Amino acid sequence: MADVEFRYSDLLPTGKDDTPYRLITSEGVEEVEVDGRKFLKVDPEAIRRLTAEAMKDINQYLRPAHLQQLRKIIDDPEASGNDRFVALDLLKNVNISAGGILPMCQDTGTAIVMGKKSEGVLTGADDAETVSRGVFDAYTKLNLRYSQLAPLTTYEEKNTGSNLPAQVEIYSTAEGEKGPEYKFLFMAKGGGSANKSFLFQETKAILHPDRILSFLDEKIRSLGTAACPPYHLAVVIGGTSAEFALKTAKYASAHYLDNLPTEGSMSAHGFRDTELEEKVFELTQSFGIGAQFGGKYFCHDVRVVRLPRHGASCPVAIAVSCSADRQALGKITRDGVFLEQLETDPAQYMPDAGMAEEIAAGEVVDIDLNQPMSSILETLSQHPVKTRLSLSGPMVVARDIAHAKIKERLDAGEEMPDYLKNHPVYYAGPAKTPEGMASGSFGPTTAGRMDSYVEQFQAAGGSMVMLAKGNRSKVVAEACGTYGGFYLGSIGGPAARLAQDCIKSVEVLEYPELGMEAVWKIEVENFPAFIVVDGEGNDFFTDPAGTATIPLTGIRVRSKER
């Protein structure tokens, strides 16, 4: 056997860091020398402060590049009216969240922190605990939501009341040219986008230009809109393990791997396939799904990473970062503690008033929710799917755990609660309410998680009008066709704008012990929505592509004749 040369490379050589940083503090960092070697002594409080500051920033601000991509949609003459309408609403939303009070999304996420600690960094502490203390500080002091559930038994769980635990991973790395340093990636990953991470165990047969595009066409379409597009989409082909493929996809969706090499080598490192990225991006624009209700901007961009693999395995991973594109880099060096500079003045990306009014124009149907349910249904039945609505009046808020509890009552022979018979149900869970405001950030959650309840609830007279985000399964359309119910879609993402402009009061109706998963009653005014599934079972998402046409203003769409 011929001699084989030893080759080594980081699996993900991230390249030069060209991130713009701001200084958090110079305190808590000290360069020390031992036996002629320089070390970086870091006070754990510096890590805690950096983490807390990062979690605050990523829930209030976005990167300039992401904001520029939203503005690009507005300026693109080929963008649909819906694409531009959604982009405008998301820009309005971040202008509100940038005020530092309301987070941009009500699902303020699982805190995920990845650290790369070079050998010469000394902390004298359990860094994962220190990071967790910083997460605790941010979530308990700010208007963020507690979403983490502690498993008490296999079947019983309880909200931890602090959004802990965080997912903290610390890696040991070689010392760079600038000496010892500690680098971080901070993420707040909401359930909607986290649920759109997928792994497919494929074989070498997929490694063909036509086959991979056909495969991705099917799988990317299936992502739907529940995770709040436009997406930053990542595709990873290969991987030394299934979990590494998925983790790489998450990093790539956060643009953490943008400076990877763009070609492979016998060192077997990962690389970006920029040619395939462009083809997949064009593919997503052809879907017709667009930014939630039809158009071409299903994605802002695409990253494709090719990894080495075992000859018997070919994992393919897909992940997205949603319209709440929440991540930031941090670092601790001998010069201080630094955090990525996010955009604190997003108003500069807004269109002028005339263009904004043009985008928001179009036919809108006002729906008075103070009417009896029979009258609301009668009004909705006069309009086809894709009709844009403005809702005003009372709604009930209930999501996963509340639905499970109500199902238990129905299964036990009890009646459907009157509140679900008399009012539309909004699938959502609020963030904390700031002092002096009616509501905390309060955007819609993913509708599909409640699909299994719809037939039983509508048969019992409840959930006749449902409001949430994303597409739904066939069973919902069938139930609506049978019982005359409606599913209304809300724009996923602008939770701060809904709280400030549309939600006028919030009160707990039942299950207060469930925290954000309690049953609430809210009063809304001019709450935007669209008819997605009507009382005959017609579903906008069954074929949003093809003949769908959306004018520059308004959200009327012509689709297949039924």
In a domain, 252, yes or no: yes
Q: Which residues contact 392 (CB under 8 A, 6 or more apart)?
A: 366, 367, 368, 369, 370, 524, 525, 526, 527
Same domain, 376 and 510: yes
What pLDDT, on the 0 to 100 scale, is given for residue 178? 85
Task: Answer yes or no: pTM beyond 0.85.
Answer: yes
Among 311, 335, 362, the domain boundary falls at: 362
Same domain, 183 and 38: yes
Q: Which residues contact 307 (CB under 8 A, 6 or more apart)?
A: 11, 236, 237, 238, 239, 240, 244, 245, 248, 270
In a domain, 103, yes or no: yes
- Report whether 243 contacts 249 (CB < 8 A): no
In a domain, 548, yes or no: no
In a domain, 466, yes or no: yes
Q: Which of 78-92, 144-158, 287-301 has the highest mean pLDDT?
A: 144-158
Same domain, 414 and 386: yes
Which CATH number goes with the domain that contains 436? 3.20.130.10
Same domain, 216 and 118: no
Residue ranges making up the domain that contains 46: 9-190+324-362
In a domain, 545, yes or no: no
Torsion angle, alpha carbons of 397, 401, 403, 406, to 10: -110
- Report whether 346 contacts 494 (CB < 8 A): no
Same domain, 290 and 262: yes
Same domain, 277 and 351: no
In a domain, 554, yes or no: no
Same domain, 27 and 134: yes
Same domain, 377 and 464: yes
Name the token pair of 42.
Answer: 């870091």
Question: Does 562 score more than 80 pLDDT?
Answer: no
What pLDDT, on the 0 to 100 scale, is given for residue 517? 92
Same domain, 314 and 330: no
195 phi, psi to nearest 5 deg: -70, -10
> How far is 378 from 366, CA to CA, in rounded Å?
13
In a domain, 553, yes or no: no
- Report whether 529 contacts 541 (CB < 8 A): no
By C-alpha distance, which of 167, 129, 99, 76 is closest to 351? 76
Q: Which residues contact 337 (CB under 8 A, 6 or more apart)?
A: 23, 24, 25, 26, 28, 29, 46, 49, 50, 330, 331
Q: Which residues contact 424 (CB under 8 A, 6 or more apart)?
A: 369, 376, 391, 395, 396, 464, 465, 466, 467, 488
Residues 405-464 have pLDDT tens digits of: 999 999 999 999 999 999 999 999 999 999 999 999 999 999 999 999 999 999 999 999
Question: Does 554 score more than 70 pLDDT?
Answer: no
> How far is 138 from 428, CA to CA, in rounded Å?
22
Same domain, 309 and 331: no
Torsion angle, alpha carbons of 349, 230, 236, 448, to 10: 150
What pLDDT, on the 0 to 100 scale, is given for residue 81? 87
Number of domains within the chain: 3
Residues 48-75 have pLDDT tens digits of: 999 999 999 999 999 999 999 999 999 9
In a domain, 4, yes or no: no
What pLDDT, on the 0 to 100 scale, is given for residue 2? 67
Question: Does 9 score more than 70 pLDDT?
Answer: yes
Same domain, 249 and 382: no
Same domain, 47 and 68: yes
Confidence of residue 549 (pLDDT cuts 50, 70, 90): very low
Name the token pair of 242.
Answer: 């299934």
